[in-house]
Amino acid sequence: MSTSIEVNQKRKRFPKWLKITSTIIIVLILLITGSGFYLTKKALPEIKGNLEVGLLEHNVSVTRDTKGVPHIEAKNLHDLYVAQGFVTAQDRLFQMDLSRRQASGQLSEVIGDATVDRDSYFRTLGLRRAAEASYSKYSKEAQNVLNWYAEGVNEYIKYATKEGKLPVEFKILQYKPTEWSAIDSLAIGKYMAFDLGGHWNEQAFRYYAMNKFPKEKALELFPADNDLDPYIIPSGTSKIDVEESFASAIIPPTWNGSNDWVVSGSKTKSGKPLLADDPHLGLATPAIWYETHLKSMDMNVKGVIFAGVPGIIVGHNDHVAWGVTNVGPDVQDLYIEKRNPNKPDEFLYDGKWEKATVVNETIKIKDKKSKVLPVMITRHGPVISEFASEAGKDTVFSLQWTALQPTRELEGVLKFNVAKDWDTFKEGLALFEAPAQNFVFASDDGTIAYRANGNIPIRKKGDGLMPVPGWTSDYDWKGFIPYEELPTLINPEEGFISTANNKVVDDSYPYHISHSWAQPYRQLRIREVLSQSDKLTVKDMQNLQMDEMNLQAKEHMPKFIQSITKQNKELTSIEKSALAELEKWNFVDDKDQPSPLIFQRWMTEINKALFDKQISKDMMDLFGDRKVIVDQLLRNSLSGKKVIWIDEKGGIDQLLLDTYQKTIKNISESDGDDVAKWSWGDHHKVAFTHPLSSIKVLSYFFNAKDPIPVGGSSTTVKAAGYDEDGIVDHGASWRTVVDFSDLSKSVNIVGPGQSGNIGSKWYSDQMEDWANGTYHTTVSKNVKGIKEILQAGK
């Protein structure tokens, strides 16, 4: 699931997003001369002793353990959630503020014109509008929780402002946080739904491909076994310039996904269930996840939450545990809308012109005049193809998406927190509507279960493969897959359930879920390991979460080597040495070995050879299925089938030889001629970068440690996706294993650490833990650590 702050994400870096004014230069000079140390220490919150919080009815105990995890114990729920808001803000206030601004399209107010396109995009989507519409759907009890949490955040903002303890980032950017609200928390939740996607970008890419390439060539870039409808390019409509329309669109990392699995007592050494979960999102400083322990009355729950949201999203209480991965269903549809040439706010529907709702979004821009952005909202949803430029002469794309409707996922989370068994847990699932998630579940009664949960649309016609006509009701949604018919599995005979964003149903399932599934390699590896033993332990689960076996390489590499060998081409001594390394490789993406580097670079060169000269970078960003499609193209060509994209390169043998030689040449130029000394970890490192690190000078302060070499890759269970510079920026910032034989033995990692305050000892203390798989326990009783009493106000 990433509310990571993505201001400097790889697709949209903003090296100029902060104009270094004289004020900032002065701050930098202070940092460089040593005053920075004073500023960061002064901003650290008081977390020891007594601190008065005026809204509390009773004193609240907060104990931070050796990893900085707050254990919050209150006498009632009001005090518990006020305290959670206060304590989370102590550790993550700047992250919280940037997260709500990102979701709401309000970054330019504090950053400047460099983020106007970004804000325009999110204002067009309307995540905050959806959050506002959702609030009234929540029960009074859930609204109370949201408001109590906001009150706690605001108490800390007032305290920190008065005492000069606002995080140093606010000083650098020269602004102060405004009051927190329940809508801010819900907007962050909506951003998470955005980050977990729904495939509109793949629809846009397929539309682009069908307009740019011959039909048969374009279809090779579609998911296999699709049933192509005849409306690919509807006749009588002007074409929409996808490249121009979406050049500035923000596309979440492909397959923000995760691993999770649950094992019944029949397959564990203890005879009790084990549950493991590691959600994969952007890796950054501060961490996306904030680990917390909440205890009050009948509730005792531990796990993680997104900073700015109350409750525990993923974790366990005294009776049940749950984990999540992304289902990745087709919950977003692009509609091709016909606009009235005489009235630009009217669109055709079933033979009549319908007036769209127009919302004028005002984007405040630091040091500049505000921008007013008119957002057109058709019956299907906002027109998203014109947030940056005109889309087509009389034709635009609108977006229908489940998350833009009122949803109650937070209310579902609150029910998870107090569930006692599968039946009571399902009460929460019924309310968790967006984003759709694979939930695995275990309980102290021995039950293990799974459900692909959330609102997944049923279409009158079409199946989410391509943009569809919006001028007719033929392609409308007619509801969602009935809750009781969502894919579900309880206590299977094989004794375990696992998911890794893989296809979750076979062709006998009566409803369409998705065309786009992740590469199957993580799921295949998880099942391979879990099926091998009936005495599984917590340590086995940890080892599997850190597993670096690359089944993609295991599938392709022998055939690649065979192709190179059979061609009898004269190879250089370096090329021969590299081939010898590959021949003896065990397919583990070990950071100290040369073979993972060669394979990963080889796959990169194959991608470049196939697409670079024919598809622009902006369009490649929309091509979310690319890795699956490339596997498909290679698989087909290696088996002797005609593949246009590969045949254009002289056939599979020529493609593999050319890209292999280029790969070896490039690596040798940077790493020397001794292949045995090449290592994957020299080019594959985790950094956990801070959003302010886009300013080079600040990166030395906010990126607390040098990048750490790590193994794994995007196809291994130890997920470690990386950018074009080799920086690992995507993976499991939270790993947990829950042991029902003794919940106190449950273990976790939050990378890079609990605190977002640069001067804290918990700022990056888990960075090496993340790289090396060093877990910690979050105990329930007799917590030892730094104790803080939040005192009820007078």
Question: Which structure tokens are listed for 364?
Answer: 């405040």
- Concatenated DSSP letters of 613-670: TTS-HHHHHH-TTHHHHHHHHHHHHHTT---HHHHTTT-HHHHHHHHHHHHHHHHHHH
258 is catalytic: yes
Does the pLDDT value for residue 11 go beyond 50? no
CA distance 200 to 230: 19
Q: Which of 135, 158, 159, 162 is nearest to 147 (CA)?
A: 135
The H or E element that residue 737 is part of is: strand 734-739
- Concatenated DSSP letters of 98-128: HHHHHHHT-SHHHH-GGGHHHHHHHHHHTHH
Alpha helices in 674-790 (DSSP H): 696-702, 767-772
The H or E element that residue 531 is part of is: none
Q: Which of 174, 171, 188 is nearest to 366 (CA)?
A: 174
Question: Which structure tokens are listed for 406?
Answer: 């009122």
Q: Which of 54, 90, 67 is nearest to 788 (CA)?
A: 90
Give the strand pairing for 60-64 and 280-282: unpaired
pLDDT confidence band for 256 (50 / 70 / 90) = low
Residues of the chain above pLDDT 90, percent: 83
CA distance 268 to 540: 10
State the average pLDDT over residues 258-266.
Answer: 97
State the average pLDDT over residues 363-382.
Answer: 96
The residue type of 476 is D
CB 769 within 8 A of CB 751: yes
- Concatenated DSSP letters of 415-481: HHHH--SHHHHHHHHTT--SS-EEEEEEETTS-EEEEEES--EEESS--SSS-EESSSGGG-EEEE-
CA distance 454 to 35: 50
State the average pLDDT over residues 495-517.
Answer: 93
Residue range 451-490, pLDDT digits in tens? 999 999 999 998 899 999 999 999 999 999 999 999 999 9
Does the pLDDT value for residue 196 go beyond 90? no
pLDDT confidence band for 253 (50 / 70 / 90) = confident
Q: What is the pLDDT of residue 568?
A: 87
CA distance 394 to 398: 13
The residue type of 752 is P
State the average pLDDT over residues 202-208.
Answer: 95
CB 325 within 8 A of CB 279: yes
pLDDT confidence band for 393 (50 / 70 / 90) = low
pLDDT confidence band for 245 (50 / 70 / 90) = confident
pLDDT confidence band for 228 (50 / 70 / 90) = very low
- Concatenated DSSP letters of 206-247: HHHHHHHS-HHHHHTTSPTT----TTSS-TTSPPP-HHHHST
Does the pLDDT value for residue 18 go beyond 80? no
Choose, from 258, 385, 498, 714, the residue flagged as catalytic. Answer: 258
Q: What is the pLDDT of residue 238?
A: 65
CA distance 400 to 532: 44
Residues making up the binding site for Ca(2+): 330, 333
State the average pLDDT over residues 498-527.
Answer: 94
pLDDT confidence band for 137 (50 / 70 / 90) = very high
Q: What is the pLDDT of residue 389?
A: 60
Residues making up the binding site: 330, 333
The residue type of 136 is S
Q: What is the pLDDT of residue 13?
A: 43
Does the pLDDT value for residue 240 go beyond 60? yes
> What mean pLDDT, rounded, does the chain reach?
91
pLDDT confidence band for 19 (50 / 70 / 90) = very low
Residue range 413-436, pLDDT digits in tens? 999 999 999 999 999 999 999 999
Residue range 291-332, pLDDT digits in tens? 999 999 889 999 999 999 999 999 999 999 999 999 999 999
The residue type of 374 is P
Residue range 638-648, pLDDT digits in tens? 999 999 999 99
3-state secondary structure of 379: coil
State the average pLDDT over residues 70-90.
Answer: 97
Q: What is the pLDDT of residue 154?
A: 98
Peptide bond into 70 cis (omega under 30): no
Cα dihedral 530→533→535→541 (10° resolution) = -30
Nearby residues of 4 by Cβ (< 8 Å), 6 or more positions away: 281, 282, 283, 284, 288, 733
How many CA atoms lie less than 13 Å away from 790 in the CB half-sphere?
31
CA distance 659 to 601: 9
**DSSP β-bridge partners for residue 365:** 368
Question: Which structure tokens are listed for 104?
Answer: 């709401």
State the average pLDDT over residues 191-210.
Answer: 92
CA distance 42 to 21: 24
State the average pLDDT over residues 662-679.
Answer: 98
State the average pLDDT over residues 72-79.
Answer: 97
Number of Cβ within 10 Å of residue 570's Cβ equals 7
Q: What is the pLDDT of residue 1?
A: 42
CB 335 within 8 A of CB 349: no
Residue range 34-59, pLDDT digits in tens? 556 677 788 898 899 999 998 999 99
Nearby residues of 457 by Cβ (< 8 Å), 6 or more positions away: 330, 331, 333, 402, 477, 479, 480, 481
Does the pLDDT value for residue 2 go beyond 80? no
3-state secondary structure of 759: coil
Does the pLDDT value for residue 227 go beyond 80? no
Does the pLDDT value for residue 26 go beyond 90? no
Does the pLDDT value for residue 7 go beyond 50? no
Q: What is the pLDDT of residue 391?
A: 58
